[in-house]
Amino acid sequence: MPLLDEHGRAVADAWVRVADDAPLPEGPAILTAARLRAEDLSGRNAPLGIALDPATAPEAVADLLPRLSLVTIALPKAKDGRAFTQARALREHAGFRGEIRATGHVLPDQWRMLRRCGVTTVEVPEGADLAQWRRSFDVVDIAFQPAQDSGSALGLRRQRLRVA
Amino acid sequence: MNALVEPLAPPAPAYPPHARTYRYDEVDREFLQERIAEFSGQIERRLRGELTEDEFKPLRLMNGLYLQLHAYMYRIAIPYGILNATQLRQLAMIARRWDRGFGHFTTRQNIQFNWTKLEDVPAIMRALAAVDMHGIQTSGNCIRNTTTDEYAGAAPDEAADPRVYAEIIRQWSTLHPEFTWLPRKFKIAITGAPHDRVALQAHDVGVVVRKNAAGETGFEVWAGGGLGRTPVLATKLRDWVPEEDFLAYLEAVLRVYNALGNRDNIYKARIKILVRDLGPDFLARVEAEFARMPRQRYRLDPEIVAQIAAHFAPPPFPRLADDPPAYRDALARDAAFAAWARQSVRPHRQPGHASVTISLKPIGGIPGDCSAEQMEAVAALAERHAFGEIRVTHVQNLVLPHVRQDELFAVWEGLRAVGLATPNIGLVSDIIACPGMDYCALATARSIPVAQMISERFADLDRQLDIGECFINISGCINACGHHHIGHIGILGVDKRGAESYQITLGGSATNDAAIGELVGPGFPYDQVTDAVETILRTYVARRAAGERFVDTYRRIGPAPFKEALYAAAG
Amino acid sequence: MSAPAKAKPATAPMVFTANRLRDGRVVWLAGPGRWAETVREARVFPPAEAAAGLALAQQGERDQVVIGAYGAEVAIRDGIAVPVRFRERLRAEGPSIAAEPAEYLLAS
């Protein structure tokens, strides 16, 4: 599945999702919380990530975050917006600095807001019109509230968001 | 940006100099143009098939566009119910050009047009933007338009001006990155007066602006109110949130809701269900979130509050005395004017002035409807007599907030000339009604013709005055847009085996003594609702004690006498 | 849309209706790829052919012509199809109240 980085460019995806009963691959691996807790991974050098389901609060995996490089969050349907709060909490409360990846049914129209909540990358459908994703990201660049991104102050509560 | 050149839009808005709306600057206007470009692009993608209807629907709803029974309906935001004359004129132009010559004011203090074409929406958006208006967040599962006291800045009992904080909420909630895909819609009401004129406890969040002994501003915060299938009155979360933490506290409430609100069942997705189910744990979670968040990031800067407050500075009132001879003489001379003044004219904090409520409930008319000609007439009267300012009430009427008492007669004459001087404010024909099945795709029964029948039955003003204050609220389905639960007499239209049936609730209230009405018994068919209302009111008149309003009598004697009168004959 | 979506087998003649995507107006399926603005022009499907009618209507959704397609039972009166449910009659005939501004009702 194509992956867009924070600049709206398609990038290669080095990560592999690993089922709980599958052997660990050599490279970067996305595991469940249960496996990350159960297995001794202290000798491993390749990066680790976790797939956070929409019902799990980031606080519940806070103990795991220091050793993780990636957290995926999911929109099961585009209108299910729990991932926005998860992403913001990961940045603001847990201080997570790694990659946050949005997965699932994400619309181009949600990409700017996900980024503002602290998301880094997004999985887009095969064959997606990447130019549309870029346009949707750029079209509204004035914001009225502080978020995990920053912009230049325009007066009152408004700011102009940085171009990615 | 050439798509934004719109030949229909009038030149830069020439604001009435004193209208106390929030005045847009270049940044606000640029933002609106960006949003128009975004939604125009989404419409094009939908028409090309790049967006499915399921994907497009939440996007169009967040821009105020519904698909109703006969057509798209476009709902336009009137931020906290405040309009200036230029804006009202532009709404009249839109009504004529793209609709059928009228608009419908809603209980959320917005206006909606019933016959919009999807293809016309970008042009309508540009015409709205020309007067700093839009339809952003008038629908969808996001933070909606904030409800405010229609007499804000004019009411004698006001402790603090809610408009300033309503505008701050508007800005903060506009395209909020975290709270635009909530479990369900989210409605905030804010008032600065001890008398609740906003149905505070029927909102997802209710805020009372307060001043403490030191003169500092703070907020009493309620949450978890709502009507719909499960009516619940709000719970108080806090007696005092300091001004600088206002947005932080709202963020904390919304964070808990967005994380934990029900995503599977639309009827359990409002915050009221979460508040009810979590009990005291809801408040504990909000406080925990509030305690841990980086407060400085969300701090409300007093300087910004002051800059926004400057937009709502009082108009340059002339110094006048109350009850000037011209007003007294007109009251004595003209009984029709006196009758209107008794219902429509309210005291003002500034001596020699008054607030005027304009009834959009002519006998037999459609509650909340206003023709283009009427909008223009109200705009002209506002410019001439009311500093160019108009308010929309949650009872679907209009208000001219600041009128000189010695000009009230002229205002009345101007209103009468366009059929807007019905002297029924607060009486039984001042009915709230949702559009119902005549327009709404969700409705299970009609509302408007029921309101019309009741209004015609009680057309006689003397009889209405004898009955006194009584609020009749009508909804055409369980979603309760007509606020039937909090009407003194509430009417809910349902589908009963293919026929319209109307359930009646009694004893609801939308104000400080907020209450959910009690169901009186089995429903009535369409052609018997008016008789039922008549029976209820006759019972009240027969049983009332001196000085009792309908709702007072109901609370004293309970439902039994009403049930007996309604059902004994049939049983 | 809140249109009745229960897939009960049809027992009465059916017409198929939707709203037109471009302007939202109520339309009725008149034939393959054809949508009419009045119920009089609607093609009536006997109960046994209701599934085929629904398939034609849903093709209109896939073609980005209409949205919210569904079937409505009709009774044939004097050779004209009349929707059985009150809601569908309102959709066919328009609001039961004035949908244009009324004459000014002067306050007495």
The CATH number given to whatever domain includes residue B381 is 3.90.480.20
**Model pLDDT, residue A43:** 87
Residues B516 and B481 in one domain: yes
Residues B118 and B234 in one domain: no
Structural domain ending residue among the three candidates B94, B129, B164: B129
Return all residues near B188 (Cβ < 8 A) that are at least 6 apart.
B143, B144, B146, B147, B169, B173, B203, B204, B205, B206, B207, B250
Return all residues near B329 (Cβ < 8 A) that are at least 6 apart.
none
Q: What is the pLDDT confidence band of residue B18, given thresholds at 50, 70 and 90?
A: low
Write out chain A residues lying below 8 Å of B255, CB-based.
85, 88-89
**Model pLDDT, residue B12:** 43
Write out chain B residues lying below 8 Å of A157, CB-based.
168, 171-172, 304
**Per-domain boundaries in chain A:** 3-161
**Number of CB atoms found within 10 A of residue A116's CB:** 24
Scanning C70-99 for CB atoms below 8 A from B yields 84-87, 90-91, 94-99
Q: What share of chain B is helix, strand, coil (3-state, %, to 5)?
A: 40, 20, 40
**Model pLDDT, residue C101:** 64
User: Are the C-beta atoms of B440 and B479 separated by less than 8 Å?
Assistant: no
B239-260 pLDDT, tens digit each: 999 999 999 999 999 999 999 9
Reply yes or no on whether the pLDDT at A67 is more than 80.
yes
List the single best residue of C37, C90, C91 to mutate versus B (max B Cβ within 10 A).
Answer: C90
Residues B93 and B168 in one domain: no
In a domain, C1, yes or no: no
Residues B332 and B361 in one domain: yes
Residues B403 and B481 in one domain: no
Task: Please compute the mean of the pLDDT values over residues C4-24 and round it to a whole number.
Answer: 85
Q: Do B34 and A142 touch (CB under 8 A)?
A: yes
Residues B283 and B392 in one domain: no
Reply yes or no on whether the pLDDT at C3 is more than 80.
no
**Model pLDDT, residue B318:** 95
Is B91 exposed, middle or buried, given 0-12, 13-18 or 19+ CB atoms closer than 10 A?
buried
Does A touch C (3+ CB pairs < 8 Å)? no
A80-97 pLDDT, tens digit each: 999 999 999 999 999 999
B512-526 pLDDT, tens digit each: 999 999 999 999 999
In a domain, B337, yes or no: yes
Among B356, B419, B365, smallest CA distance to B393 is for B356
User: Any idea which residue has 């009984």 for tokens?
Assistant: B335
User: Are the C-beta atoms of B91 and B374 separated by less than 8 Å?
Assistant: no
To the nearest whole Å, the CA of A93 is away from the closest chain B CA by 7
ipTM above 0.90, yes or no: yes
Return all residues near B170 (Cβ < 8 A) that are at least 6 apart.
B22, B79, B80, B145, B146
Name all chains with 3 or more CB-CB pairs below 8 Å to chain B: A, C
In a domain, C47, yes or no: yes
The rounded distance, in Å, linking the Cα atoms of B117 and C98 is 20
**Number of CB atoms found within 10 A of residue B545's CB:** 9
Q: What is the pLDDT confidence band of residue A151, given thresholds at 50, 70 and 90?
A: confident
Return all residues near B531 (Cβ < 8 A) that are at least 6 apart.
B524
In a domain, C41, yes or no: yes
The percent of residues above 70 in pLDDT, for chain B, comes to 96
* Overall domain count for chain C: 1
Reply yes or no on whether the pLDDT at A150 is more than 90.
no
* Overall domain count for chain B: 4
Candidates B67, B439, B498; nearest CB to C1? B67
User: Are the C-beta atoms of B423 and B339 separated by less than 8 Å?
Assistant: yes
User: Any idea which residue has 């407050």 for tokens?
Assistant: B309
Residues B372 and B447 in one domain: no
Question: DSSP characters for B313-333?
Answer: PPP-PPP--SS-HHHHHHHHH
Q: Do B258 and A82 touch (CB under 8 A)?
A: yes
Residues B182 and B216 in one domain: yes
Q: Do B294 and A139 touch (CB under 8 A)?
A: no
**Model pLDDT, residue A1:** 84
Structure tokens at A54: 């929409």
To the nearest whole Å, the CA of A5 is away from the closest chain B CA by 19
The residue of chain B with its CA nearest to that of C97 is: B449
**Model pLDDT, residue A7:** 85
The rounded distance, in Å, linking the Cα atoms of B249 and B252 is 5
The percent of residues above 90 in pLDDT, for chain B, comes to 95
- The segment with the largest mean pLDDT, out of B19-33, B344-358, C77-91, is B344-358
Reply yes or no on whether the pLDDT at C103 is more than 60.
no
User: Are the C-beta atoms of B505 and B488 separated by less than 8 Å?
Assistant: no
Q: In sequence order, what are the beta bridge partners of B518?
A: B506
Task: Please compute the mean of the pLDDT values over residues B488-493 and round it to a whole number.
Answer: 98
Domain that holds residue C63: 14-93
Strand (E) or helix (H) holding B416 = helix B408-417
In a domain, C64, yes or no: yes
Candidates B71, B422, B449; nearest CB to C23? B71
Mean pLDDT computed over every residue of chain C? 88
In a domain, B7, yes or no: no
SS3 state at B241: strand
The percent of residues above 70 in pLDDT, for chain A, comes to 99
Candidates B419, B442, B500; nearest CB to C107? B419
Q: Do C106 and B419 touch (CB under 8 A)?
A: yes
Task: Please compute the mean of the pLDDT values over residues C28-44 and round it to a whole number.
Answer: 97
How many CB pairs (< 8 A) connect A and B?
107
Instruction: Give the CA dihedral B126, B129, B131, B133, nearest 10 degrees.
Output: 120
How many CB pairs (< 8 A) connect B and C?
103
B57-70 pLDDT, tens digit each: 999 999 999 999 99
SS3 state at B398: strand
Name all chains with 3 or more CB-CB pairs below 8 Å to chain C: B
Largest CA distance in chain A: 55
Reply yes or no on whether the pLDDT at B329 is more than 90.
yes
Q: Do B38 and A139 touch (CB under 8 A)?
A: yes
The CATH number given to whatever domain includes residue B158 is 3.30.413.10
B407-464 pLDDT, tens digit each: 999 999 999 999 999 999 999 999 999 999 999 999 999 999 999 999 999 999 999 9
The rounded distance, in Å, linking the Cα atoms of B308 and B332 is 43
Q: What is the pLDDT confidence band of residue B498, given thresholds at 50, 70 and 90?
A: confident
Write out chain B residues lying below 8 Å of C85, CB-based.
498
Q: Do B116 and C24 touch (CB under 8 A)?
A: yes
In a domain, B134, yes or no: no
**Between C101 and A56, where is the model more confident?**
A56
Q: In sequence order, what are the beta bridge partners of B473?
A: B432, B490
SS3 state at B428: coil
Domain that holds residue B21: 14-129
List the single best residue of A142, A149, A159 to mutate versus B (max B Cβ within 10 A).
Answer: A142
Taking the mean position of all CA atoms in its chain, how far away is CA C51?
A: 16
Q: What is the pLDDT confidence band of residue A98, given thresholds at 50, 70 and 90?
A: very high
The percent of residues above 90 in pLDDT, for chain A, comes to 85
**Model pLDDT, residue A155:** 85
In a domain, B71, yes or no: yes
Q: What is the pLDDT confidence band of residue C21, given thresholds at 50, 70 and 90?
A: very high
The residue of chain C with its CA nearest to that of B444 is: C87
Architecture of A3-161 per CATH? Alpha-Beta Barrel (3.20)
B107-134 pLDDT, tens digit each: 999 999 999 999 999 999 999 999 999 9
Write out chain C residues lying below 8 Å of B416, CB-based.
106-107
In a domain, B136, yes or no: no
Structural domain ending residue among the three candidates B417, B441, B469: B417
In a domain, C24, yes or no: yes
The residue of chain C with its CA nearest to that of B47 is: C64
Is B14 exposed, middle or buried, given 0-12, 13-18 or 19+ CB atoms closer than 10 A?
exposed
Q: Is the dihedral of CA B544, B448, B87, A143 positive or negative?
A: positive
Candidates B48, B71, B500; nearest CB to C24? B71
- Reading phi first (left if > 0) and then psi (alpha if -120 to 50, else beta), residue C70 is in beta
Is A50 exposed, middle or buried, given 0-12, 13-18 or 19+ CB atoms closer than 10 A?
buried
Mean pLDDT computed over every residue of chain B? 94
In a domain, C21, yes or no: yes
Question: DSSP characters for B70-96?
Answer: SSEEEEE--GGGEEEHHHHHHHHHHHH
**Between C104 and B469, where is the model more confident?**
B469
Candidates B53, B70, B449; nearest CB to C67? B53
Return all residues near A136 (Cβ < 8 A) that are at least 6 apart.
A107, A108, A109, A111, A112, B38, B41
Q: What are phi and psi of B202, to 5 degrees?
A: -100, 10
Question: DSSP characters for A11-47?
Answer: E----EE--TTSPPPSS-EEE-HHHHHHS--TT--S-
User: Any idea which residue has 């209103």 for tokens?
Assistant: B415
Among B232, B297, B210, B221, smallest CA distance to B256 is for B221
Q: Is the dihedral of CA B252, B253, B254, B255 positive or negative?
A: positive
